[in-house]
Structure 1
Amino acid sequence: MKKSVGQILGRTGIRIPLILWSIAVLYPIFWMFLGSFKSNAEIYRNPWGLPETFNWQNFADAWTNYNIDTSVFNSLIVTVVGAALTLVLAIPTAYAIERINFKGSKFLFTLYVSAMMIPMVLGWIPLFFLLMDFGLLDNIFGLAIVYAVSQLPFTIFVLTSFMSTIPKSLEESASMDGMSPYRILWKIITPLSMSGIITVTIMNAIQFWNEYFMALIFLQTEGNYTLALAIDYISSEAQYTNAWGTLFASLVIAIVPVIILYAIFQQRIAKGMTEGAIKG
């Protein structure tokens, strides 16, 4: 009896702070959703209450008057291209580091891991002039390249952990059957590492979708703005035009895809990170 009471008290002591923290995090999001359906007058009159009527005009204004449609398309292009390019560069690199014993492989892996500790802000000025020299400044594809390179260390670190759990006997058997190293990589190693690939792809995609500072530095034309920059523009405009409902609607447009993506793949992400942390 004492043990069961102690367990109940212990679990309650853990759950209460978690519940309070969840409320503190979720309530502003819930308030933002409600605000996206209110008129400006209603936001000022009853900021914490439920909307009298669900007004979809805020979403229409954000989509058309503030070019959210273009910004969503730009963010989608940057996210897809950046995530795909990251995989194209990271998968062969991780395989070479983990499976091919060449001189300096351990040093190269250490170099990539060390790069994760370097603040990205230190490279923004050199990257600005580098993109300018290559004609990729104020270009969403140039931004996608920067995103891909910035996430290479993390992606390689995770994928090497997954590849290390694959038995080498499979590669040896495939090699004896006449498969080249490239076919072994794409036909055997990549499918068996799919859990890790999906995990890093989702995490990278969420990072690229939400990124703000590099987009602010490397994009200059309003037509090339990503969603984060468009929301920042609406935020500055809302101070003078009172377009708070439009701002809330644009925020909802930005976070709903991330919430849906994470809700669908949260178990796979947790499983993938757990499997990647266990080296065979």
Structure 2
Amino acid sequence: MRQKKSVGQLLGRAGIRIPLILWSIAVLYPIIWMFIGSFKSNGEIYANPWGMPDQFNMDNFVSAWTDFNIDTSVFNSLIVTVLGAILTLVLAIPTAYAIERLRFRGSHILFTVYISAMMIPMVLGWIPLFFLLQRFNLLDNIYGLTMVYAVSQLPFTIFVLTSFMSTIPKSLEESASMDGLSPYGVLLKIITPLSMSGIITVTIMNAIQFWNEYFMALIFLQSEGNYTLALAIDYISNEAQYTNAWGTLFASLTIAIIPVIILYAIFQQRIAKGMTEGAIKG
């Protein structure tokens, strides 16, 4: 019986791990292939697309950085990512606190509206947003795009933060109020530090979303000088079909993906912990 049980356990584990291993290979292999291709010349890519380069050189990275102005696009992406993530928190933290703690008339309806907004496809708002930005002279403006990004992630951010704030003991707020703290002081000195795990989680997830976003940037940005990294890569991809700049394309993709991998690797445990805590608290 014990032997049959151990064999059954091994088969059960193998049935779970083998598909996960195969899936990991299927996901990682194109990334590794892209990374290796970024160090190849065009001749090497055509002669041996699956092999290792004769020598690792940075020519493709230099070409992407200078000839295709990836440096400007990286700077634009950094602006919309950092400012968008900060603006989302500035708007979401007080809103989540007001909905969860103040319990004013209509707070439940307001929270329901925010949650319902998560179910609405963003594509439905692209045309109205286009004309709205055009009216306020924010079309083809990275700061206008930043505001669109921030507002688009508000429902998700508020949903996560309210779940964290809901389990903070109200006695802490009452004690702070008795000590003379204003509601703003309670929010900044009590609620925000105790919700830091959720704040970090949503900030990282929003930053990754803003860094990789393509469609809204394509619609709301028109000048090459305002292109984000996703648009610049799309431009290089189109050019590669006629100029054979495949190595440059691989290099630009590597430039785009490395910050996301590093960010996720650093904060992986905190993201998993934050999402788990948020699910339990919610």
CA deviation vs aligned residue, 1:110-136 (integer Å, no higher than 9, x gap):
110000000000000100111111111
Question: What is the Cα deviation at residue 6 of structure 1?
Answer: 1.2
CA deviation vs aligned residue, 1:242-262 (integer Å, no higher than 9, x gap):
000000000000000000000
CA deviation vs aligned residue, 1:82-139 (integer Å, no higher than 9, x gap):
0000000000000000001111111111110000000000000100111111111100
Q: In 1, Cα distance between the equivalents of 2:139 and 2:149?
A: 14
* 1:52 aligns to 2:57 (yes or no): no
TM-score (norm 2): 0.98
Where do 1:11-22 residues align within 5 Å? 11-22=13-24
Name the counterpart of 2:149: 147
Name the counterpart of 1:217: 219
SS at match of 1:277: helix
Residue 171 of structure 2 is aligned with which of 164, 169, 172? 169
Q: In 1, Cα distance between the equivalents of 2:33 and 2:179?
A: 61
CA deviation vs aligned residue, 1:56-92 (integer Å, no higher than 9, x gap):
1000000000000000000000000000000000000
Question: What is the Cα deviation at residue 279 of structure 1?
Answer: 2.3
TM-score (norm 1): 0.99
Where do 1:188-267 residues align within 5 Å? 188-267=190-269
SS at match of 2:139: coil
Q: In 1, Cα distance between the equivalents of 2:56 and 2:115?
A: 49
Q: In 2, Cα distance between the equivalents of 1:279 and 1:62?
A: 46
Name the counterpart of 1:10: 12
Number of residue-to-residue matches in the alignment: 280
Name the counterpart of 1:33: 35
Where do 1:79-90 residues align within 5 Å? 79-90=81-92
Identity %: 86
Unaligned segments of structure 2, at least 5 residues: none
User: Over aligned residue pairs, what C-alpha RMSD do you find?
Assistant: 0.7
Structure 1 runs (4+) deviating above 4 angstroms are none
Q: In 2, Cα distance between the equivalents of 1:206 and 1:69?
A: 19
CA deviation vs aligned residue, 1:225-256 (integer Å, no higher than 9, x gap):
00000000000000000000000000000000
